[in-house]
Amino acid sequence: MFSELHHASNMNTLKPEILNARKIRNTLYNYTTVLPNERILGSLICLQNDRDVEHLLTAFIGTPLVAGDLRLLGEDTKAEIKNICLNLNKLIAQGVLGEFHNFKGGKYIRYDEWDGFARYARNGQGIICLFRNEDACETVEITIPNLPEGCYALKDMANNEHIATCDARKLASGVAVKWQGKNYRALAFSRK
């Protein structure tokens, strides 16, 4: 019997000194070169230490499956995760985010380099997940190819703050995104 999902297990973030989220992302990015991202199930990604939101966003590369004792999350982290999930659910209620774009291509991500990806629907709505790692940059430039023509609004998924408005050509040629004091960013974009 064959499975619709590729189960990538034993990638536990509970002990980041053994296996951290960046290493897991490198593995999942490789899987996306041979499988559709929605068929990748990266399991045992934990939400119970100081990088919970980063771990959740890492799980968004594929079909999210997370574990952990949610009672251990701080109130701010719970609120941030709740907002991110609400924004994601609004997007996927309108259609599958079946398109995937890795901002670094097939390159292996070192500890001192940022990385990230976009998942989006062909109708022009989706998410952008960015990870700073130990990169010293203050701003990153991202490009999202093959979006339908139109005007796009970008917002922060954690706090619903409006980030930018631009057209598909600008998104394809490059948009600057600033880090906001955290080592990750979760943005939603939609066509107006």
Is there a single domain that holds both residue 102 and residue 174? yes
Is there a single domain that holds both residue 108 and residue 128? yes
User: What CATH code is carried by the domain that includes residue 167?
Assistant: 2.60.40.1180
Is there a single domain that holds both residue 114 and residue 69? no
**Could you tell me if residue 1 is inside a domain?**
no
**Could you tell me if residue 187 is inside a domain?**
yes
48-91 confidence digits (pLDDT tens):
777 899 999 999 998 888 888 888 899 999 999 999 999 999 99
Least trusted range by pLDDT, from 25-39, 82-96, 98-112? 25-39
Residue 5: pLDDT over 70: no
Q: What is the pLDDT of residue 9?
A: 61
Buried b (16+ CB within 10 A) or exposed e, 108-132: ebeeebbbbbbbbbeebbbbbbbbb
Is there a single domain that holds both residue 174 and residue 100? yes
**Could you tell me if residue 176 is inside a domain?**
yes
Structural domains in the chain (count): 2
**Could you tell me if residue 100 is inside a domain?**
yes
Q: 């980063």: which residue's tokens?
A: 54
Is there a single domain that holds both residue 41 and residue 70? yes
Is there a single domain that holds both residue 166 and residue 79? no
Range of the domain at 161: 96-191
Is there a single domain that holds both residue 69 and residue 117? no
Is there a single domain that holds both residue 61 and residue 137? no
Residue 20: pLDDT over 90: no
Q: Which of 173, 175, 172 is nearest to 163 (CA)?
A: 175
